[in-house]
Amino acid sequence: MPKNLLSVAGYDPSGGAGVHLDIRVFNHLGFRGFGILTAVTAQNSARVDQAFPLPSGLVRGQYVALAGEARFSGIKVGMAGSLENLAAAARILSANPSIPRVVDPVFKASSGARLIEAGAVPRFLKLLRGKASLLTPNLDEASALSGQRIRTAAGMKEAARRIFESGHIPCLLKGGHLEGEAVDVLYDGADFEVYRHARVKKSVHGTGCFLSAAILGFLVKGFSLKEACRRGIALTVRSMQKAVPAGGGRMAFPFSL
């Protein structure tokens, strides 16, 4: 029987991100995927027009119902949608301390739409402190969490270190939006690991969701944090290279990963 992985994230009606994509990645890696919805969006591959967070009681209720019959081997948290739902996700993580748990902070859409209220960001690390195996912020999210503007690979290291010190969670800082070579930086509380890889010259919807879901899968397979990140990045880059047009907006991961 395949192991069960849980995604706690938003619903993207285009199918290119959120719970939809997480479950596809889980299935590709040989797991059975479950999903708890935190929010519903009105969006396509190019932009988010509206985001509607679900009541936190419903988020908790979905988890209670699923946990009543399924045992999870790993949990990923993506878009929370509200401070209340972030707190609900933190409780779900706290209830599962012995399994891999990956959190992908989602504060804004690529199109600029805010996906969680501004007041939740300063409380993000406090609510999640010590409750996950890895955080995977992009440059904007890491800047908000660290209070530091990031312009260089050295700045990425400093921001990752600050995030770890505040949240007691290892941090993989994604540097895809920096100029020059594509670089991601992991800080696990003791050491840095720098991942350099080819820059994919495509605008692909859902890359953050894909990467965090893939890393979770490799952690559950038993790989170390550094190796799980390496494999997750490699799988994401390969899949981005195969991305296909999605309507008239950004490209999407292919149906067959």
Percent of the chain with pLDDT over 90: 75
Q: How does pLDDT run across 26-65, given as a tens digit for each residue?
A: 999 999 999 999 999 998 878 888 999 999 999 999 999 9
| The pLDDT of residue 46 | 80
Q: How does pLDDT run across 116-169, given as a tens digit for each residue?
A: 988 889 999 999 999 999 999 999 999 999 999 998 889 999 999 999 999 999
| The pLDDT of residue 115 | 86
> What average pLDDT does the structure give for the chain?
93
CA trace torsion 37, 40, 45, 50 (10° rounding): -150
Average pLDDT value for residue range 197-203 = 83
| The pLDDT of residue 19 | 97
| The pLDDT of residue 256 | 78
Domain covering 4-252 in this structure, CATH number: 3.40.1190.20
Average pLDDT value for residue range 5-11 = 97
The full set of domain ranges for the chain reads 4-252
Residue 248 pLDDT grade (very low, low, confident, very high; cuts 50, 70, 90):
low
